[in-house]
């Protein structure tokens, strides 16, 4: 542990900020899925399913491209990469790419939090 109080405080502040940004992204993705999928059971399934095999590549590719171009830049917001399974799950559960992208067009311009690592 560093004995310099100023350095410790700076490090603690960075960790707190990182956690707050990650919480924002977690909450944003939950909001995104639940407002796009009105069926609560299906939304819950989409939120909890991980490690599923992607079969709908066209949908997933289109959605990922838009997400990374207009919502979160993976170079600056690397934590967003951990949420791509939610987008793939939307595609795998029958939500078409244009519906997902249309929803992103409405909500992504409102995002003002970046550098989520």
Whether residue 117 lies inside any domain: the answer is no
Whether residue 42 lies inside any domain: the answer is yes
Cα 78 from chain centroid?
10
> For the domain that residue 89 is a member of, what is the CATH number?
1.10.132.130
Whether residue 51 lies inside any domain: the answer is yes
Whether residue 9 lies inside any domain: the answer is yes
Mean pLDDT, rounded, for 5-19: 93
Q: Does the pLDDT at position 95 exceed 70?
A: yes
pLDDT bin (cut points 50, 70, 90) of residue 3 is: confident
Whether residue 115 lies inside any domain: the answer is no
Q: Are 116 and 72 in contact (CB under 8 A)?
A: yes
Give the model's pLDDT for residue 1.
55
Parent domain of 84: 5-110
CA-based nearest residue to 80, from 95, 63, 97: 63
Whether residue 93 lies inside any domain: the answer is yes
| Counted domains in the chain | 1
Query: What's the predicted TM-score (pTM) here?
Result: 0.89
Mean pLDDT of the chain: 94
pLDDT bin (cut points 50, 70, 90) of residue 83 is: very high
Mean pLDDT, rounded, for 51-58: 90
Please state, in angstroms and as integers, the Cα–Cα distance from residue 86 to each residue in 38, 55, 107, following that order: 15, 14, 16
Q: Which residue has the higher pLDDT, 74 or 3?
A: 74
% of the chain beyond a pLDDT of 70: 98
């Amino acid at each position: 542990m560093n004995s310099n109080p100023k350095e410790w405080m700076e490090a603690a502040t960075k960790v707190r900020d990182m956690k707050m940004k990650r919480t924002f992204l977690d909450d944003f993705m939950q909001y995104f899925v639940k407002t796009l999928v009105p069926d609560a059971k299906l939304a819950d399934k989409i939120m909890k399913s991980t490690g599923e095999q992607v079969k709908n590549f066209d949908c997933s590719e289109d959605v990922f491209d838009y997400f990374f171009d207009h919502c979160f830049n993976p170079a600056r917001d690397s934590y967003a990469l951990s949420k791509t399974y939610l987008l793939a799950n939307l595609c795998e559960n029958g939500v078409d790419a244009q519906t997902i992208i249309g929803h992103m067009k409405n909500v992504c311009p409102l995002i003002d939090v970046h550098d989520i690592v």
